[in-house]
Structure 1
Amino acid sequence: MDLPNKGLVALAATLGASLASAATPDEELGRRMDTAIERAIDQQRIVGTVVVVMRDGQVVYQRAAGFADREAARPMTGDTILRLASITKPMVSAVAMRLVEQGKLSLDDTVSQWLPDFRPRLADGTQPPITLKQLLTHTAGLSYGFLEAEHGAYRTAGVSDGLAEPGMSLEDNLKRIASVPLSYPPGTQWCYSLALDVLGAVLEKAGGKSLPVLTEELVTGPLAMNDTGFSVKDPARLGAAYRDDRPRPSRMQDETTIKVGESTTLFSLQRIFDPRAYPSGGAGMAGTASDVARFLDTLRQGGGPVLSAPSVQAMMTDQVGAQAQTQGPGWGFGYGWAVLDDPALAGTPQSRGTLQWGGVYGHSWFVDPQARLTLVALTNTAFEGMSGAFTREIRDAAYPAP
């Protein structure tokens, strides 16, 4: 079923209004959030979204709007499952910190202690050690294929970014990553990378179990995140995936390539259903907005029952500094997310110490500890829902007007 554009927009607005939280404690917050969501859907910048706002540990706003599957006219609902992409990273980082607490590994361990065959070299042939802390902070000298030009070193070597190549094993991908020269000496620079995929292999060795099992035992299980994992618990609730296009987002095919400038991102919608696909520690999970909000707000409150307060504090501390500015000037990087160091420089209403990241399928989130605020905005539209105007509009709507 494929309705005409105007009919779709009208139906999406009606569905969104009917699915808004009936009891928003902060009515002004509700009006601001509704306006931001409805504008993005009316302008056909996103197809559907689920937004959850928590303050002081309580849900103060929750809304599902638009379509989970536009062509089938299936509305987005609060329990729609979406491919999480890089929202996976904070959860896997929490698994790592939990194993540190259990004494099963140290962040000062070298990767080669756990993965003897993973020994990438610099361009000059030297083989520097890489620590687990450097993996967590993306200072290990690794990169991502989608950050390179179409025929960059990672693409030439057939490296998977964890979003496509569904049949590839982790062992195979590690060999391919190690075959590419390091981008810089570990610990000297910052570059967003496949480090969490490498870390996932280390966690499996240290924990003695697969990454999906470890994540369920140490993070999603204790928090009753029943819809979130490295597989889709209920495929009937999985949302379709869309990409930016004109006059409206277009539906992704099973294999989709999106090129922006010189960089190319490969997607495989079937990857998460393929039992041969390795569990990508950087991009491999699917889940719901409410599950993600519960996880993030648990860490905001100190981490119990997942982590101790000192471990959470280390995760929330900028470990890198100004060179880690993928979120723009004023941002650094901790373990699993960006950390806001200078709100004025960043031009944001968020407080110093805010944590923020997103996911390439169309997601954004932030945690503002000073404001005791957690916001999760999952969409099914890449890249608008991750880095477009919608992310800024929904962020600003979370704060009172100055």
Structure 2
Amino acid sequence: MRRILSLLLCTLLVVPFTLPASAKAPVPAIKSQPGFATLTKAVDQTIDKNIKEGRIAGTVVLVSYDGQLVYHRAAGLADPEKKMPMKEDSLFRLASVSKAFTSMAAGALLEKGKLKLDDPVSKWLPDFKPKTADGKQPVVTVRHLMTHTAGLDYGFFQPKDGPYRKAGVSDGLERSDIALDENIRRIASAPLLFEPGSAWHYSLAIDVLGGVVAKANGTSFPQAMADLVTIPLGMKDTVFYVQEKDRARMTAPYYLDREGKLARMNDRDADVPMGEGSIHFSPDRPYDTKSWPSGGAGLTGTAPDLIILLETIRKGGAPIISDGLMKQMCANQTGKLTVMPGTAYGLGWAVLTDPDAAKSPQSAGTLFWSGVYGHNWFTDPAKKLSVVILTTTTLDSLESHGLATDVRDAIYTSLPK
């Protein structure tokens, strides 16, 4: 069951607009750009098809080619019950899309020399000394956290009486009034799944990384994220806690029930079907400042902010990370460890190593990840592409026939030669 859920979680247009290195300039006026009419039509048809079939209520899709936004569209409804149209600055619960931001924050500290990849996590979090099932206490490093090779887990991968549930570990998707440090302590109290570095397993590692980032920066984690990533890149909407004035821009989360029909989540609590089990969500978590800041799942943001991050990565990391370190972060850091077919893992995201094995039209070296609230992103350096796909349908990004896969395929079959 754990392996099935892990694989599900890992699976898964026309205008000139130069994205500046600092990304501090406002978005300029949009004008038509020749050469992308076919791509625009293909992606439009794909989005319209998914809305008509009832897979999604709304979406925002951005496609950047060689530093220019060649497709942008907000389609459908941000909140069907309120008849609120989707807008390009609509706010989405980012779920695991948060991991890319947290990894970039860690990268900024690596760049400053305040953090090292082979630092023991216990250097920054003295009580983080988890043991294996046989009682050994191996060293867990920052590198292990950033590559998901630390031997940690997610509670939703475990049975209801599993060690994470018994320890009261929060997965970062539900409301919780415990502190970040306390959640990390609870994670460390549970046994490791394996010796760090010996296997790959998707987990709460990036949440622990958030604790390390906070300590290394000498601030709270939300402040560290602002200091290291969102302020330097000029992002206005990527936050852990949404202010009252911005709540009107929040999208309403939906999911496909077991009959394949769209169902709205309850604001406070929702159990969404996944495989043979379910994942527990609290959609109003972004409004609860008592909930701990989850580096793996807790950010809220917009498509424009995310495309800035992707272009920063694709262009080499400036102004927060040097080109040399950025290349290291984007390279295969897990060797032959099993991630997904044709896929390895870098320092914060998946790296496509064999497009044929992955059955993907993307180029080798493409970086990608998704989020369970229904989002997907990728950047293909060889094609000079960065793509953001945010939706209102939880788990849609993990479906092989969902909007993200459809948009990806539409883009690659219609790129100008």
Q: Same fold (TM over 0.5)?
A: yes
Query: Counterpart of 1:359?
Result: 371
Of residues 390, 393, 398 in structure 1, which corresponds to 2:406?
393
Aligned residues: 380
Query: Counterpart of 1:256?
Result: 270
Compute the displacement of 1:151 (Å).
Answer: 3.1
Query: Counterpart of 2:112?
Result: 102
Compute the displacement of 1:150 (Å).
Answer: 3.5
CA deviation vs aligned residue, 1:27-47 (integer Å, no higher than 9, x gap)? 000011011101110000011
CA deviation vs aligned residue, 1:26-82 (integer Å, no higher than 9, x gap)? 100001101110111000001110000000111000001111001111011101000
Of residues 299, 303, 308 in structure 2, which corresponds to 1:294?
308
RMSD: 1.6
> Is 1:164–1:266's contact at 8 Å kept on the other side of the alignment?
yes
Unaligned runs of 5+ in 1: 1-20
CA distance in 2, matches of 1:236, 1:324: 42
User: Structure 2 length as normaliser, TM-score?
Assistant: 0.88
Query: Counterpart of 2:49?
Result: 39
Per the alignment, in what secondary structure is the counterpart of residue 168 of structure 2? coil
Does the C-alpha gap of structure 1 residues 247 and 199 become closer, same or farther in structure 2, counting only changes over 3 Å? closer
Does the C-alpha gap of structure 1 residues 367 and 302 become closer, same or farther in structure 2, counting only changes over 3 Å? same
State yes or no: 1:216 paired with 2:226: yes
State yes or no: 1:202 paired with 2:212: yes
Unaligned runs of 5+ in 2: 1-29
State yes or no: 1:119 paired with 2:129: yes
Compute the displacement of 1:128 (Å).
Answer: 0.7
> Is 1:90–1:335's contact at 8 Å kept on the other side of the alignment?
no
**Amino acid paired to 1:125:** G
CA deviation vs aligned residue, 1:9-36 (integer Å, no higher than 9, x gap)? xxxxxxxxxxxx8736410000110111
CA distance in 1, matches of 2:206, 2:105: 11
CA distance in 1, matches of 2:276, 2:335: 27
> Is 1:123–1:182's contact at 8 Å kept on the other side of the alignment?
yes
Query: Counterpart of 2:159?
Result: 149
Of residues 161, 168, 189 in structure 2, which corresponds to 1:179?
189
Query: Counterpart of 1:244?
Result: 256
CA deviation vs aligned residue, 1:314-338 (integer Å, no higher than 9, x gap)? 111011134342xx31011101111
Per the alignment, in what secondary structure is the counterpart of residue 159 of structure 2? coil
Compute the displacement of 1:295 (Å).
Answer: 0.8
Judge which range, 391-400 or 187-196, deviates more.
391-400
Query: Counterpart of 1:282?
Result: 296
Q: How does 1:34-113 map to 2 (within 5 A)?
A: 34-113=44-123
Compute the displacement of 1:213 (Å).
Answer: 1.2
User: Structure 1 length as normaliser, TM-score?
Assistant: 0.91
CA distance in 2, matches of 1:346, 1:261: 21
Judge which range, 270-279 or 45-54, deviates more.
270-279
Does the C-alpha gap of structure 1 residues 388 and 167 become closer, same or farther in structure 2, counting only changes over 3 Å? farther
> Is 2:130–2:191's contact at 8 Å kept on the other side of the alignment?
yes
CA distance in 1, matches of 2:92, 2:225: 18
CA distance in 1, matches of 2:132, 2:118: 20
CA distance in 1, matches of 2:414, 2:260: 32
CA deviation vs aligned residue, 1:259-288 (integer Å, no higher than 9, x gap)? 323443111112221111111110110000
CA distance in 1, matches of 2:279, 2:291: 18
Does the C-alpha gap of structure 1 residues 166 and 23 become closer, same or farther in structure 2, counting only changes over 3 Å? farther
CA distance in 2, matches of 1:47, 1:386: 17
What is the percentage of aligned positions where both structures have the same residue? 48
Of residues 309, 319, 332 in structure 1, which corresponds to 2:344?
332
Per the alignment, in what secondary structure is the counterpart of residue 307 of structure 1? coil
**Amino acid paired to 2:265:** M
> Is 1:147–1:264's contact at 8 Å kept on the other side of the alignment?
no
> Is 1:356–1:367's contact at 8 Å kept on the other side of the alignment?
yes
> Is 1:162–1:284's contact at 8 Å kept on the other side of the alignment?
yes
CA deviation vs aligned residue, 1:77-113 (integer Å, no higher than 9, x gap)? 1010000011111111111111111111111100111
Query: Counterpart of 1:306?
Result: 320
> Is 1:319–1:333's contact at 8 Å kept on the other side of the alignment?
yes
